[in-house]
Amino acid sequence: MKAVLQRVRRGRVSVDDRTVAEIGRGLVILVGVGQGDTESEACWLAEKCAVLRMFEDAEGKINLSVKDIEGEAIVVSQFTLHADTRKGRRPSFIKAADPKIAEPLVTQFAEHLAVQGVPTQLGVFGAHMLVEIENDGPVTILLERTPVAGKT
């Protein structure tokens, strides 16, 4: 499972000119579910996102988490994070999980993030979304948790 965390002043997701999620200061998190990912990866990744220090303290040091600043999050499913571009000019997405597996894992990720104390909204799985990000910094971090063989 992969996540791209973007520290934002504001974020918004629209589908068909209708706002489906909107936050102020916090994180817009793009989540890609890969083959073999389970709730274990979703839980670990959500916990990491909640406590990762990405925000500046009073001295200007990146010392605070989204929880510390009482920020919010928007979670957007993005299978293209699993693009394989090693051959040719067209990305391959065969490493991305089937939507029947990916959708509940994205939802579980968002639920785990909310349980960690981060108010969380979701984009619309499988929809064509317009994602507006006012990246603050800019600060963007890639997290990845791969399944451990034989563990669930």
Q: Which CATH superfamily is domain 2-144 in?
A: D-tyrosyl-tRNA(Tyr) deacylase (3.50.80.10)
Question: Any catalytic annotation for residue 80?
Answer: yes
User: 81, 85, 130: which is closest to 106 by C-alpha?
Assistant: 81
Answer whether 31's CB lies under 8 Å from 1's CB: yes
pLDDT digits (tens, 9 = 90+) for 4-42: 999 999 999 999 999 999 999 999 999 999 999 999 999
Q: Is 26 left (phi over 0), alpha (psi -120 to 50) or beta?
A: left
Please report, for the chain, the start and end positions of each structural domain, with discontinuous segments joined by +: 2-144
Catalytic residue among 78, 116, 120, 121: 78
Read off the pLDDT band of 130 (50, 70, 90): very high
Question: Any catalytic annotation for residue 85?
Answer: no
| DSSP output for 70-134 | T-EEEEEE-GGGG-B-SSSSS-B-TTBPPHHHHHHHHHHHHHHHHHTT--EEE--TTS--EEEEE
Answer whether 54's CB lies under 8 Å from 139's CB: yes
Read off the pLDDT band of 146 (50, 70, 90): confident
Catalytic residue among 6, 35, 55, 80: 80
Question: Any catalytic annotation for residue 6?
Answer: no
pLDDT of residue 149: 59
> Taking the model in full, what pTM does it have?
0.94
pLDDT of residue 151: 54
Catalytic residue among 79, 116, 120, 121: 79
pLDDT digits (tens, 9 = 90+) for 58-108: 999 999 999 999 999 999 999 999 999 999 999 999 999 999 999 999 999
Q: How many residues does the chain have?
A: 152
